[in-house]
Amino acid sequence: MIFFSPLYAPFALLPVVVLSAIVGLIVMGFAVAGGPDPCEPGGAEPIVISEANADSFQQKWDEFEGTLDAGSSASVTFTESEVSSRAVREAEGKVDDQDWLQEFRVCIYGGEGAISGTLNFPGFLDIKFRAEGTAYITDQLRIKPEKVEVGSIPGFIGDWVDASPDDDVELLDDEDFEHTYELTLSPGEAQIAGTP
């Protein structure tokens, strides 16, 4: 008869912990090595990440919201450069910093889009990523991921990652929209029509 001792429990788990660590390191090695290509711009112009483009996005948005707040319908169009720059500013605080989120871009196609970039974990890891999907606005800006690629992970893990994004993702956790919006994605630009 074998009795289970609390003193034995940590040693019983040791093989599982070691195996998990080895698998984790292998997967991390694949994630760090190589990775997906960046998304290609949907428009004719290259995507330029700059403070000026982030400012342009904010100015257009403020004017658009001001019109809606005054009780009139309005619409606004943003370029890939403006959207990408605004997203980097939201993530990093300043466009020029780009410490942990590098080479980030938003590519906009007809009815869908993609994001790509590199996550920089200081000291030892740079992991490339790319996600494709659709976007829409309710009380939040939401995306519906359809395909996600991370590093150059093996096929069976890649299949799991691709199959994982079932839920929509809120992009702005702390900001609810006050009006009614309709988002249209065209090659190279995003148009938002709003009503009060």
Ranges of the chain whose pLDDT falls below 50? 1-32, 154-166, 171-174
Looking at residue 135, what is its pLDDT? 83
Separation CA 140–CA 144 (nearest Å): 13
Looking at residue 10, what is its pLDDT? 40
Domain ranges of the chain: 10-195
| Closest to 106 in 3D by CA, of 31, 181, 49 | 49
Helix H segments across 33-127?
51-69, 80-92
Separation CA 40–CA 53 (nearest Å): 19
Taking only the tens place, the pLDDT of each residue in 40-81 is 999 999 999 999 999 999 999 999 999 999 999 999 999 999
Query: For the chain, percent helix, then strand, then coil, each to nearest 5?
Result: 35, 30, 35
Looking at residue 16, what is its pLDDT? 40
Looking at residue 122, what is its pLDDT? 66
Q: Please, what is the Cα angle at 126 between 123 and 128, to 5 degrees?
A: 170
Indicate the pTM of the whole model.
0.72
| Closest to 33 in 3D by CA, of 99, 109, 94, 124 | 124
